[in-house]
């Protein structure tokens, strides 16, 4: 199965209080991720598959994988659409 990530090299990542802010110098955009999106982002390192990311987030939030799959998948798709992930 395909790995999620890695993150785009041009992004500048800052973490404050557990939340991650991403700055894209090419578009001069800043995106602030909430706690859950930040946790998903940390797992998009090119080492985990989508199923592994879902399982890890499910365990972290004490949820069933099938319940959170749509939310995690949508978040990762948004990362890709924004150009934040290489793959």
Per-residue pLDDT reduced to its tens digit, 49-63 = 999 999 999 999 999
pTM: 0.92
Domain membership flag for residue 86: no
Residue 34's pLDDT band, with cuts at 50, 70 and 90, is very high
Domain membership flag for residue 41: yes
The answer to whether residue 33 scores a pLDDT higher than 80 is: yes
pLDDT of residue 81: 93
- Please give the residue range of the domain that contains residue 39: 12-81
Question: Domains in the chain: how many in total?
Answer: 1
The answer to whether residue 15 scores a pLDDT higher than 80 is: yes
The answer to whether residue 73 scores a pLDDT higher than 80 is: yes
Neighbours of 68 (CB within 10 A): 19
């Amino acid at each position: 199965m395909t790995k999620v990530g890695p993150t785009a090299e041009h992004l500048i990542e800052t973490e404050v209080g557990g939340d991650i802010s991403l700055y894209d110098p090419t578009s001069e955009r800043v995106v602030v991720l909430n706690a859950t999106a930040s946790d998903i982002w940390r797992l998009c390192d090119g080492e985990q598959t989508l199923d592994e990311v879902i399982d890890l987030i499910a365990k972290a939030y004490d949820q069933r994988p099938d319940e959170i799959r749509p939310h995690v998948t949508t978040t990762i798709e948004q990362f890709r659409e924004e150009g934040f992930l290489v793959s």
